[in-house]
Amino acid sequence: MNNRRNIGLVALPLLLTVGLAGGVFIGQYITRRTLSQEEEKLRTVLRLIESEYVDVVDIDSLVEETMPQLLNSLDPHSAYIPSSELTAVNEDLQGSFSGVGVSFQIVGDTVNVVEVIPGGPAEKVGILSGDRIIKADGKSLTGKDIGQEDVFKTLKGEKGSKVVLEIKRQSSKQPLTFDVIRGDIPVNSVDCKYMVDDEVGYLRVTKFARNTYMEFFNALNDLKAEGAKKFIIDLRGNTGGFMDQAIYMANEFLPAGRMIVYTKGRRPENETLAMSDGRGSFKDVEITVLTNEGSASASEIFAGAIQDNDRGLVVGRRSFGKGLVQNQTELPDSSAIRLTVARYYTPSGRSIQKEYLRGDKDKYDLDIIDRYSHGEFYNADSIKLDKSKIFTTSNGRTVYGGGGIMPDIFVPEDTTGYTSYYVNVMNKGLIQKFALSVADKYRSMLDDVKSTDRLLKVLPRDNTLLENFVSFAVKNGVPARWYYINQSRGLLLNQIKAMIARDVLGYSSFIELLNRDDKAMNRAYDALKNGESPVDIQLENNEKHDENGKE
């Protein structure tokens, strides 16, 4: 199996992603050399401040304050990491999480939840991506003095210990309170795999960590052993990780001599090229790839390689657009900088990095909100395609550069069933709490249940289940509003059953049940069943896919 990792003509350094970064080279401290005139100028200014400024100034603190501003003036992903935060940040890179099970970033004076780790303690009680943590055990986590180290110390803790988190959520006027029991955080990259029918297998990849390729390869073989001849690969919400893992994954599906990705920078050592070696075990299976605005970096490398080589269809919504590569260099005081040194490109030549203005990180970070505001999540015609950046796939299909991977088949965000009642019970975490109470009530009957289909037969009928939930919500302060409840009926029942499945059968069954009412998932499945995503997609299919995307 080890020879599978020696792909093509690549001189491939270690590539990573950080937060919203495209990729990272890990480097060493820059060798000392003669200072330039500009560098000597900076040193002179610091010496003058230290020796002659009217007030006593801590030069070290001044440098610490200046470094982030300096790096932020370059691009959205170049960054300074203080020594006090480097260990924690690198742990995040390794995919090793502990405590409550969230990854976060501090924007301004607020702790923003970037990702809720699937299956972790925070996810189980109903904390969502986008939530703002304002208090933990009564201690405020807001203000200009709050730092990452403070948040890590507060959220991490001994397994089994409790932390009470106060959350500010956009859809709730009042703060929400969650009791979170700290625990081991799942770090699996492939958190769900199952057979959709007798020949279609599904697997979801949530991150690109050190062992992602092997998890992915083993999952493919497990599904193949169950009869899978076609595959749906779900990369929605996958913000990236180790880029080499995406390359190894793409190699499994490509014939020999196909480009997977390349990087270009100012220096030759930052330029790399990855080609397929033809030794993949799944070169002849049909696949579809699911993406959305949360799919970034390594996810875009994989999706772009599959799309540009006409190897399968990308289904869903436009990806994030993260294509900058950073070099992480540790400094003498154990702090570090991550400096953008290259851009990566898909096989057709697309740079999928979305546009940005130097120094304007706020506008860059609000790009997803802007997409939502002008309707891109709901209508393909609202997507701002850059017609000056037209590229072609191996077989001549048109694709666009300028920001993210545009799917071959666009599927709008599904808000069917979203009512004020649904938002209210979700904000209070009542679906999760009710599901756990049902699982506990029927625990003895569910001990022998081993499949989702069997679970659904054991559970109460839909009308009974929904009425019981509404009564539970009333006891927890949410009045019954049947006009809205009936509008949200399908969504509520699906999520209740999925939550029960998670408590009884595990996270994979949770995703399996949610997927049954997922329009993007169902469209990807239909594309496989209807022969729309053959092993070698030809140009004549292009117009058909475009039409499907605009429905």
Instruction: Find the CATH number of the domain harbouring 139.
Output: 2.30.42.10
As given in the structure block, the two tokens for residue 438 are 């049902």
Per-residue pLDDT at 3 exceeds 50:
no
Identify residue 159 by its one-letter amino acid code: K
As given in the structure block, the two tokens for residue 206 are 């949530």
pLDDT for 522 equals 98
Contact 515, 497 (CB under 8 A): no
DSSP 5: G
Q: Are residues 177 and 295 in the same domain?
A: no
Contact 479, 424 (CB under 8 A): no
Which is more confidently placed, 458 or 540? Answer: 458
Q: Are residues 305 and 168 in the same domain?
A: no
Is 22 contained in some domain?
no
Selected catalytic residue, list 295, 297, 508, 509: 297
| Mean pLDDT, residues 116-134 taken together | 86
Q: Are residues 177 and 208 in the same domain?
A: no
308 is catalytic: yes
Per-residue pLDDT at 98 exceeds 80:
no
Q: How far is the C-alpha of 522 from the C-alpha of 188, rounded, in Å?
A: 25
Q: Are residues 436 and 296 in the same domain?
A: no
| Mean pLDDT, residues 449-455 taken together | 90
pLDDT for 90 equals 64
pLDDT for 129 equals 74
pLDDT for 14 equals 31
Q: Are residues 432 and 397 in the same domain?
A: no
234 is catalytic: no
pLDDT for 93 equals 52
Smallest CA-to-CA distance from 23 within 350, 272, 340, 358 is with 340
Q: What pLDDT band is residue 358 in, cutting at 50, 70 and 90?
A: confident
Smallest CA-to-CA distance from 59 within 70, 47, 67 is with 47
Give residue-wise pLDDT tens across range 260-288. Answer: 999 999 988 889 999 999 999 999 999 99
Is 281 contained in some domain?
yes
pLDDT for 199 equals 98
297 is catalytic: yes
Lowest mean pLDDT among 337-351, 357-371, 432-446: 357-371
Is 64 contained in some domain?
no
Name the one residue in this structure whose structure tokens are 């859809």.
Answer: 171
Is 6 contained in some domain?
no
Lowest mean pLDDT among 2-11, 309-318, 387-396: 2-11
| Mean pLDDT, residues 493-516 taken together | 92
Contact 357, 526 (CB under 8 A): no
Q: What pLDDT band is residue 442 in, cutting at 50, 70 and 90?
A: confident
Q: Are residues 218 and 291 in the same domain?
A: yes
Q: Are residues 250 and 385 in the same domain?
A: yes
Q: Are residues 177 and 211 in the same domain?
A: no
Q: Are residues 238 and 264 in the same domain?
A: yes
Is 31 contained in some domain?
no
Q: Are residues 237 and 309 in the same domain?
A: yes
Smallest CA-to-CA distance from 298 within 319, 270, 284 is with 319
Q: What pLDDT band is residue 542 in, cutting at 50, 70 and 90?
A: low
Residue 390: domain span: 190-324+380-414+530-549
Q: Are residues 475 and 501 in the same domain?
A: yes
1-5, 39-43, 188-192, range with greatest mean pLDDT: 188-192
Q: What pLDDT band is residue 443 in, cutting at 50, 70 and 90?
A: confident
Is 488 contained in some domain?
yes
Asked which of 184, 208, 243 is the last residue of a domain, the reply is 184
Q: To the nearest whole percent, how much of the chain has pLDDT over 90? A: 48
Total domains in the chain come to: 3
Is 37 contained in some domain?
no
User: Chain centroid to CA 39: how far?
Assistant: 39
Per-residue pLDDT at 416 exceeds 80:
yes
Give residue-wise pLDDT tens across range 158-196. Answer: 888 999 999 998 778 899 999 999 987 767 899 999 999
Is 51 contained in some domain?
no
Q: CATH number for the domain including 543?
A: 3.90.226.10
52-56, 143-147, 186-190, 478-482, range with greatest mean pLDDT: 478-482
Per-residue pLDDT at 371 exceeds 60:
yes
Give residue-wise pLDDT tens across range 217-253. Answer: 999 999 999 999 999 999 999 998 888 999 999 999 9
Selected catalytic residue, list 322, 354, 361, 497: 322
Contact 168, 148 (CB under 8 A): no
Q: Are residues 425 and 408 in the same domain?
A: no
Selected catalytic residue, list 75, 277, 308, 310: 308
| Mean pLDDT, residues 340-368 taken together | 85
